[in-house]
């Protein structure tokens, strides 16, 4: 379990995240939503130990500040929004970097094949020999996810749940791969791990999230299940946009929802 209490982050004298309380439970997908600039990514960076914060973050019973990077890396993996690589690594070499800590949780003889298996999971079978720089943005993002999956291959290790932090994992993906990636997140949670995902697509959020944290101007505006949180009022207040939840478009207007996936 991850518990964040009264977490605030200041950057250059400006308060970006203000007093956020947050829980991520094993077995659940916790979605963080909110408009651009509401502090979602900054909050996730505090939660992953990348940025200094005030308040407290507890990861599986231990204070995050008192943990070494190598121990934190065993219990959670982080997918950033985008990753620029500075040298011509092959896709396999990038994915294999996820195994640098050596605690994937896979059986010892599985580790050698793990990059290929992770690539297959993100629908990049046969990409291992390609150069990362030659891939499209969406493909690069999936390579990074494969790397992250290698780091915490087993959702539970030594009896402790592990966590996936995903910062906009599907923003640059087509609809098929959005569903594939979100299903990977759901499988990870069903396997006993926890997922924290920053999402922009409210339909995907409603479909996959067990719990939604709505951020607005650095603060938590609402928390709860999709049914409780996604309301006309909340959307108007937070996103400054008058929308109706559950309203169908006019009969001659086509629309495609991820929920209709077979």
Residue 140 or 205 with smaller CB distance to other proteins: 140
Residue 176 · residue 58 · CB < 8 Å: no
Out of 47, 77, 202, 235, name the contact with other proteins by CB under 8 A.
Answer: 77
CA distance 11 to 32: 20
**Binding to other proteins in span 106-135, by CB under 8 A:** 112-113, 115-116, 126, 128-130
Q: State yes or no: residue 78 binds other proteins (CB under 8 A).
A: yes
Out of 104, 151, 178, 205, name the contact with other proteins by CB under 8 A.
Answer: 151
CA distance 15 to 39: 9
CA angle 217, 223, 225 (to 5 degrees): 140
- Minimum separation from the CB atom of position 4 to other proteins (A): 17
Residue 48 or 178 with smaller CB distance to other proteins: 48
- Minimum separation from the CB atom of position 105 to other proteins (A): 14
Closest Cα partner for 81 from 10, 172, 182, 153?
172
Q: State yes or no: residue 46 binds other proteins (CB under 8 A).
A: no
Residue 77 · residue 151 · CB < 8 Å: yes
Residue 101 or 226 with smaller CB distance to other proteins: 101
Residue 129 or 246 with smaller CB distance to other proteins: 129
Q: State yes or no: residue 16 binds other proteins (CB under 8 A).
A: no
Q: State yes or no: residue 52 binds other proteins (CB under 8 A).
A: no
* Part in contact with other proteins (CB under 8 A); list of ranges 22-30, 63-71, 192-200, 235-243: 63-71
Out of 58, 89, 138, 219, name the contact with other proteins by CB under 8 A.
Answer: 89
- Minimum separation from the CB atom of position 32 to other proteins (A): 17
CA distance 180 to 38: 27
CA distance 95 to 114: 9
Residue 144 · residue 179 · CB < 8 Å: no
Give whole-number Cα distances, 178 to 139, 207, 208, in Å. 12, 12, 11
- Please name every residue paired with 24 in a beta bridge, in sequence order, or none if there are none: 2
Beta-strand ranges (E) seen in the chain are: 2-11, 14-24, 29-33, 54-59, 62-63, 76-79, 156-157, 160-161, 163-167, 194-198, 211-216, 219-224
* Part in contact with other proteins (CB under 8 A); list of ranges 15-23, 45-53, 168-176, 189-197: 45-53
- Minimum separation from the CB atom of position 121 to other proteins (A): 15
Closest Cα partner for 230 from 247, 254, 217, 252?
247
Q: State yes or no: residue 13 binds other proteins (CB under 8 A).
A: no
- Minimum separation from the CB atom of position 141 to other proteins (A): 13
Contact residues for other proteins (CB under 8 A)? 45, 48-50, 68-74, 77-78, 80, 83-94, 97-98, 100-101, 112-113, 115-116, 126, 128-130, 151
């Amino acid at each position: 379990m991850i518990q964040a209490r009264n977490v605030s982050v200041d950057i250059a004298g400006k308060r970006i995240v203000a007093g956020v309380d947050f829980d991520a439970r094993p077995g659940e997908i916790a979605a963080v939503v909110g408009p651009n600039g509401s502090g979602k990514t900054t909050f996730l960076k505090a939660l992953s130990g990348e940025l200094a914060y005030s308040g407290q973050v507890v990861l599986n019973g231990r204070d995050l500040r008192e943990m070494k990077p190598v121990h934190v890396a065993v219990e959670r993996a982080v997918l950033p929004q985008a990753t620029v690589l500075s040298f011509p690594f092959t896709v396999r070499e990038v994915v294999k970097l996820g195994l640098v800590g050596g605690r994937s949780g896979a059986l010892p003889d599985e580790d050698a094949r793990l990059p290929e298996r992770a690539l297959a999971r993100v629908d990049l079978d046969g990409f291992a020999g390609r150069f990362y720089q030659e891939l499209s943005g969406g493909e690069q993002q999936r390579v990074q996810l494969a790397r992250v999956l290698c780091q915490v291959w087993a959702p539970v290790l030594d009896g402790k749940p592990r966590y996936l932090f995903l910062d906009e994992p599907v923003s640059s993906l087509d609809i098929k791969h959005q569903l594939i990636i979100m299903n990977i997140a759901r499988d990870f949670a069903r396997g006993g791990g926890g997922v924290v995902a920053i999402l922009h697509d409210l339909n995907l959020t409603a479909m996959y999230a067990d719990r939604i944290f709505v951020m607005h101007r650095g603060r938590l505006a609402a928390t709860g299940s999709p049914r409780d949180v996604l309301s006309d009022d909340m959307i108007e207040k937070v996103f400054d946009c008058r929308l109706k939840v559950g309203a169908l478009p006019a009969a001659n207007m086509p629309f495609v929802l991820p929920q209709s996936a077979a």
